[in-house]
Amino acid sequence: MMAENRVLDDELVALLRQAQRVVALTGAGISAESGVPTFRDAQQGLWAEYDPMELATPEGFARNPLRVWEWYAMRRAQVAKVQPNAGHYALAQWAARRPGLTVVTQNVDGLHQRAGSDRVIELHGNITRVRCAAGHGPVAEWQEKAGEVPRCCQCDAYLRPDVVWFGELLPAAALASAEQAVAAADLVLSIGTSSLVQPAASLPYLALGAGVPVVEINPEQTPLSADARFSLRGKAGELLPALVACIGD
Ligand code: BJW
């Protein structure tokens, strides 16, 4: 069953109140109201201006490491300037009332943690971290020099952002934890994601296959909308606080 803009629908309120093991799968849309650009928004999404094949693939990095490094440095600086919004804070409040809530995020901006969520699974890494491109692990400090990509002090390979690019495997432990959380969930929320990028986009379908209800929050329709029990059209920063208010203590 699908209902739009019926936040106070009785069945929805009952679902929210009863759910103890909630998984909130989030995407770029939840950070949009903080000023972090989404990827696929037709006007302002990153992919409207930048080519993902050149900036978010290992092949693009191999072709032009400096272009990729500088693009991520620009985005890292952007993320450092923004603040969590009402949507991030609402999920942290929800977890305070329902300690079984797990956030599974595709976002690399760390805003859930900054809003106070402590059970956060990062599927696509974190833009604030940097690692050796040849596999020598994370790097705590590096020197930025204009026109140069910093190098690993152990092997001299380039450093790269600790994010997951197209064609790369997701961190195995994070994906396994996300799948386990969904398998144990009694409610899955899909918030601010276009539901296009795999394997994250398949997580709500794991829940649906097990008969677990999925509630979507997105101003736009997505491929998930028709299958979600409730598909709520609106912004995460407006709808999530309203949903948390329904739960009670
Ligand atoms: C609001 C809002 C508001 C706005 N409130 N909402 C099976 C089939 C086909 C292809 C594949 C497949 N399996 C794997 C693939 C290939 C690929 C893939 O999925 N491609 C598809 C695009 C077709 N996947 C991969 O390569 C993944 N690796 C993998 O699967 O390895 C194994 C394998 C490899 C190759 C072949 C087969 C298997 C890795 C994916 C890595 C994604 N990386 C990025 C970049 C991260 C680093 C960085 O930040 O630069 O992750 S791409 C980008 O997309 C980023 C995001 O996390 C991800 C998802 O985007 P998201 O969050 O959904 O954002 P948008 O912009 O798409 O949507 C925002 C939504 O918010 C919109 O709906 C708005 O309406 C909404 N919104 N304002 C609420 N206020």
CA–centroid distance, 104 to ligand 1, in Å, is 13
The domain boundary residue, chosen from 116, 148, 163: 163
pLDDT score recorded for residue 5:
43
Q: Following DSSP, what letter does each residue of the chain receive, concatenated?
A: ---SS-TT-HHHHHHHHH-SSEEEEE-THHHHTTT---SS-TTTSHHHHS-HHHHSSHHHHHH-HHHHHHHHHHHHHHHHH----HHHHHHHHHHHH-TT-EEEE---S-HHHHHT---EEESSEEEEEEEETTS--EES-----TT---B-TTT-PBEEEEEPPTTSPPPHHHHHHHHHHHHH-SEEEEES--S-STTGGGHHHHHHHTT--EEEE-SS--TTTTTSSEEE-S-HHHHHHHHHHHH--
Q: Which domain holds residue 233?
A: 1-35+84-124+169-249
Q: What is the pLDDT of residues 14-51, one digit of tens each?
A: 999 999 999 999 999 999 999 999 999 988 899 999 99
Q: Do 46 and 90 have their domain in common?
A: no
pLDDT above 70 (res 96): yes
Q: Pocket residues for ligand 1 (CB within 6 Å)?
A: 27-30, 32-33, 38-41, 45, 56, 106, 108, 124, 163-169, 192-194, 196-199, 217-220, 222, 235-237
Mean pLDDT score, 48-61: 96
- Residue 138 shares a structural domain with residue 210: no
Same domain, 175 and 230: yes
Please identify, by atom number, the ligand 1 atom nearest to the C-alpha of residue 217.
Answer: 79
- Give residue 166 CA to ligand 1 midpoint distance, Å: 8
Report the CATH number at residue 154: 3.30.1600.10
Same domain, 110 and 138: no
Q: What average pLDDT does the structure give for the chain? A: 95
How many structural domains are present in the chain? 2
The verdict on 238 and 137 lying in the same domain is: no
Helix axes 236-247, 10-18, angle to 10 degrees: 70
Atom of ligand 1 nearest to the CA of 169: 31
- Tell me if residue 112 is catalytic: no
Residues 43 and 141 in one domain: yes
Q: Are residues 244 and 152 in the same domain?
A: no
Q: What is the pLDDT of residue 8?
A: 60
